[in-house]
Amino acid sequence: MPFTDRRSILRAAAMFPVFAGVITEMASAQTASTDAQKIALDPIETPKDVTRILARYVVTARYGDLPENVRKEGVRTLLNWVGVTIGGSHHQTIDIAVSALGPFSGPPQASILWRRERFDIMNAAFINGVSSHIFDYDDTHLKTIIHPAGPVASAILAMSEMQPVSGRDFLNALILGTETECRIGNAVYPNHFDMGWHITGTAGVFGAAAAAGKLLGLNEQQMVWALGLAASQPVGLRESFGSMNKSFNPGRAASNGIFAALLASKNFTSSNGMIEAKRGWANTISTKQDYKEITDGLGRRYEAVLNSYKPFACGIVLHPAIDAAIQLRNDNKLTADQIERVEIKVNPLVLELTGKKTPRDGLEGKFSVYHAVAIALVEGAGGEKQFSDRAVADPTVTALRKKIIPVITPGIDTAQIDMTIVLKDGRTLHRYIQHAVGSLEVPMSDKALEMKFADLAGGILPGPVIRQAMDLCWNVENLGDAADIAKICVPS
Amino acid sequence: MPFTDRRSILRAAAMFPVFAGVITEMASAQTASTDAQKIALDPIETPKDVTRILARYVVTARYGDLPENVRKEGVRTLLNWVGVTIGGSHHQTIDIAVSALGPFSGPPQASILWRRERFDIMNAAFINGVSSHIFDYDDTHLKTIIHPAGPVASAILAMSEMQPVSGRDFLNALILGTETECRIGNAVYPNHFDMGWHITGTAGVFGAAAAAGKLLGLNEQQMVWALGLAASQPVGLRESFGSMNKSFNPGRAASNGIFAALLASKNFTSSNGMIEAKRGWANTISTKQDYKEITDGLGRRYEAVLNSYKPFACGIVLHPAIDAAIQLRNDNKLTADQIERVEIKVNPLVLELTGKKTPRDGLEGKFSVYHAVAIALVEGAGGEKQFSDRAVADPTVTALRKKIIPVITPGIDTAQIDMTIVLKDGRTLHRYIQHAVGSLEVPMSDKALEMKFADLAGGILPGPVIRQAMDLCWNVENLGDAADIAKICVPS
């Protein structure tokens, strides 16, 4: 086999630079073809068959295999995703995307949450995926800072409206998609993220493809191809942060994943080792590749249980301060006029990232520990409404934020805060936060998730529908038809 | 501005690894937002405004600015693209893609060449882009081995069926798209390709977005965003070579480019420096960034004139041998039974890449210099039909290929060949090829491009339609409606 002597080829390519690219491309094409034949014939022999091992797992894993805590976390992931997606559904970003894509959408197969437009499954998944990330308030796999639900839930909710999908199959696909994207993320994080990739979009497309492929009933080889076509469509650069393009990324990951799975379902081929091969995804897109993160403990260790939810609609560095403020307010029925001053011992990073003393609008409010503590004391919350232009201009809040006194204190890490409120009557109130609510150590309670949902959906969904939608999410495992979740989330 | 002190942020991130990702993401988001405001307000001041300079050029460049040789090469690019796309239009790959995507396509806005199905513009552009690359017989920008027309022509032909586009505007968009993708490719090649990216898909999406955006009449800021959304959707890994996934890549680049341009046309925002910023495309996706390749000489130096076309449906390393064989055959009216033996002095790479003595099928025939020379002598051509299973099994060809004697010869480079045919009557015929037909030095003639077109379209288009379709391409600059090219290329 003369053309497997890669060293000679590369030497020759170096000798004739004008042809180097063509020569190398040609050699790669032939090698890929040969490898593909070999892998297709051989059983799995080495831990290098990463794509195939993952595909086999996704294809064979059943709902009944899922431990109870994994199922529970999947349900919470779903509830949180529906809430944030509804919350973003009438943002300008979504109005723009719907208006741009409407004339090109296929049949009205799937819902766009709480809007009247219906799009084909890929365009609907795109829109819902964008919507879910608009407030940067969605779920987070803290090990990789992937936002898992955006790409995956957006894809499979749309598919559930195209074909019958039971609630159990839906939850199984959601969790398998989450496993797929977070494990692939683990394999390349942090180097991949440090290089500039928005990992939610680059790893998320694998999650969407796996979950969509699961619902389509792909066989192992088709799932290998679906993952390969997903590998060919990474989405998102960190440079886009701060623009609509950031929310674009999980949405496009969702639609790209469906696109990959649909093609694979008809035997549109890819190569067999697209994740792990020499010219494959991980080597091309990252300087770190730890494939054991993908293949070890499949079906025994679940990344899906490590999902977390933001209780507050701002950067995580502010969460301990907001948590402390809300606790002290609620426990003591505080009002702003009682407060003389608020001393907070903080990590230096709090001021570096969120040191804006006089934020001018809602977005700047997210970068102001002064505003965050003041609004939390006044309103007892830290949701999207508390980071609106209205909230930032509120006279009570602007008066109170001048009384917030951060003190950089050694020994306080970014997860912690130490807050002392001095009241005008001379009393002092104190609260130390070791881990804020929403962390893995102090996860949001189901009740807190419901409050977040209601806050996001309030003013969009009618009150009774909020309750019904949450109940459908909690009850997803018993639904005969997962599309009921979409149906309740559109205007009648 | 406390959060612009990136060094402090990174130090802090290092101190608290569990939050490192979140912290860095947050810092980036804020920085991007700040940069975006700044750049939007300032005029172009430094050569670093690469995305904006390119966008401004694409938005302002007019058909009347194009030199005649550039227009001419654009027309040849179009003709070649229509030919290869029709040639691939009934391949199994296309049957699969059409069947997979049909149920999800939007309105029947655009043609799929020589098929009865009509899809929305993005799905149609995808299919035509795939089709154009199936035989790996399309155009090549040799400096980057980008296949320029696939992403760009597929996008704009579809768009021409959605809105009125004159032939001149069509050609202008085709050339501007080609400039965009090839210049961006130049900026990162070869490192980017060496890393594993299929550059036709990763750079191609910019070309498609620029050309589609030009036809949509985007303003400068919208074009900046379109390029940013394109940067967020690179397509294709070299590992996919040898599977249908390779053809997928230019197709998906075409549809992703339209997707980016459509969203930008409604003011869906991206960041302003997505190509050149620290966390932007070039830094993330390549270890080489030569931005002058993008910005220097815009409107004066054209990459589009460097496009080339394959005269033979196989790797470029075989082209000199096929060229020599066809010349000697035609000049001497040779038949196979006259030939005693064929001695060819070749570069070592010819045998390394194409040394298969007994190819078993058409694809293997592309890796056999013995077959390539034999079939060229017998049939006087090296098209897709000459690399079919039929051709490889032809008894005359299999007998003749045993008489081909390659001799590795110092001083013969990969562009060259020295062929001596010894006839049974004792005569010897000799031909030395310095540059094969299809190279930049010996470009395919218009006549040869027509023969290639006719060969690809033969058996698919009716004979008279082949002539009409070629004439429409040659005459594109005078067409009132560029969609005429699509209309002639579908069954009536």
Does the structure show a pLDDT above 80 at B95? yes
What pLDDT, in 10s, does the model give residues A386-399?
999 999 999 999 99
Cβ-based contacts of B204 with chain A (< 8 Å)? none
Cβ-based contacts of A29 with chain B (< 8 Å)? 136, 241-242, 246
Structure confidence at residue A363 (pLDDT): 86
Does the structure show a pLDDT above 80 at A432? yes
pLDDT bracket for residue B85 (50, 70, 90): very high
A468 touches chain B (CB under 8 A): no
pLDDT bracket for residue A23 (50, 70, 90): low
Residue of chain A whose alpha carbon sits nearest to that of B29? A241
Q: Phi first, then psi: what are they for B32, rounded to 5°?
A: -60, -45
Structure confidence at residue B22 (pLDDT): 54
pLDDT bracket for residue A26 (50, 70, 90): low
In what helix (H) or strand (E) does residue B339 lie, and over which residues does it extend? strand B339-346
Q: What is the residue-averaged pLDDT of chain B?
A: 92
Structure confidence at residue B42 (pLDDT): 42
CB pairs under 8 A between A and B: 362
Bridge partners (DSSP) of residue A341 are A422
Does the structure show a pLDDT above 70 at B323? yes
| Contact state of B243 with A237 under an 8 Å Cβ cutoff | no
What pLDDT, in 10s, does the model give residues B155-170?
999 999 999 999 999 9
Cβ-based contacts of A32 with chain B (< 8 Å)? 238-243
Percent of chain B beyond pLDDT 90? 87
A67 touches chain B (CB under 8 A): no
Cβ-based contacts of B415 with chain A (< 8 Å)? 16, 18-19
Does the structure show a pLDDT above 70 at A40? no
Tell which of B163, B237, B270, B356 to mutate to test the A interface (max A CBs under 10 Å).
B237
| Contact state of A104 with B415 under an 8 Å Cβ cutoff | no
B316 touches chain A (CB under 8 A): yes
Structure confidence at residue A219 (pLDDT): 98
A1-15, A423-437, B256-270: lowest mean pLDDT where? A1-15
Order of all β-strands in the sheet with A428-433: A404-408, A339-346, A417-423, A428-433
| Contact state of A239 with B269 under an 8 Å Cβ cutoff | no
In what helix (H) or strand (E) does residue A201 lie, and over which residues does it extend? helix A199-202
Report, as an integer, the average pLDDT of B432-459: 96
Structure confidence at residue A25 (pLDDT): 55
| Contact state of B283 with A414 under an 8 Å Cβ cutoff | no
Which residues numbered 329-388 in B keep a CB inside 8 Å of some CB on A?
347-349, 351-356, 363, 367
What pLDDT, in 10s, does the model give residues B179-238?
999 999 999 999 999 999 999 999 999 999 999 999 999 999 999 999 999 999 999 999
* Residue A180 · residue A206 · CB < 8 Å: yes
Q: Which of B28, B122, B367 sits opposite A30 (nearest CB)?
A: B367
B233 touches chain A (CB under 8 A): yes
| Contact state of A120 with B104 under an 8 Å Cβ cutoff | yes
pLDDT bracket for residue B353 (50, 70, 90): confident
Structure confidence at residue A353 (pLDDT): 87
Top mean pLDDT of A3-7, A14-18, A294-298 is at A294-298
Which three-class secondary structure state does DSSP give residue B426? coil
Bridge partners (DSSP) of residue A417 are A433
Structure confidence at residue A145 (pLDDT): 92
* Residue A388 · residue B38 · CB < 8 Å: no
Structure confidence at residue A477 (pLDDT): 98
Report, as an integer, the average pLDDT of A435-445: 96
What pLDDT, in 10s, does the model give residues B400-426?
999 999 999 999 999 999 999 999 999
DSSP secondary structure code for residue A443 in this structure: P
Cβ-based contacts of A352 with chain B (< 8 Å)? 2-3, 5, 8-9, 12
Estimate the share of chain A in helix, then strand, then coil, as percent rounded to the nearest 5.
60, 10, 30
Does the structure show a pLDDT above 60 at B32? no
| Contact state of A414 with B19 under an 8 Å Cβ cutoff | yes
Does the structure show a pLDDT above 80 at B5? no
Q: What pTM does this model have?
A: 0.90
Structure-token pair, residue B170: 């069509």
Structure confidence at residue B291 (pLDDT): 96
Does the structure show a pLDDT above 80 at A214? yes
| Top-confidence residue, B103 or B414 | B103
ipTM: 0.90
Report, as an integer, the average pLDDT of A440-467: 96
Structure confidence at residue B238 (pLDDT): 93
B106 touches chain A (CB under 8 A): yes
What pLDDT, in 10s, does the model give residues A285-315?
999 999 999 999 999 999 999 999 999 999 8
| Contact state of B279 with A238 under an 8 Å Cβ cutoff | yes
What pLDDT, in 10s, does the model give residues B275-302?
999 999 999 999 999 999 999 999 999 9
| Contact state of A353 with B9 under an 8 Å Cβ cutoff | yes
| Top-confidence residue, B154 or B362 | B154
**Inter-CA distances, A2 with A63, A295, A391, Å:** 49, 34, 71
Nearest CA among A471, A477, A144 for reference residue A286: A144
| Contact state of A243 with B31 under an 8 Å Cβ cutoff | no
- Angle between helix A92-101 and helix B244-265 axes, rounded to 10 deg: 120
| Contact state of B21 with A142 under an 8 Å Cβ cutoff | yes
Report, as an integer, the average pLDDT of A236-265: 97
Structure confidence at residue A482 (pLDDT): 98
Does the structure show a pLDDT above 50 at B46? no
Cβ-based contacts of B130 with chain A (< 8 Å)? none
| Contact state of B196 with A279 under an 8 Å Cβ cutoff | yes
Which residues numbered 435-464 in A keep a CB inside 8 Å of some CB on B?
none
Could you please report the per-residue DSSP string of B182-216? HHHHHHHTTHHHHHTB-HHHHTHHHHHHHHHHHHH
What pLDDT, in 10s, does the model give residues A107-118?
999 999 999 999
Structure-token pair, residue A71: 């199922």
Estimate the share of chain B in helix, then strand, then coil, as percent rounded to the nearest 5.
60, 10, 30
A305 touches chain B (CB under 8 A): no
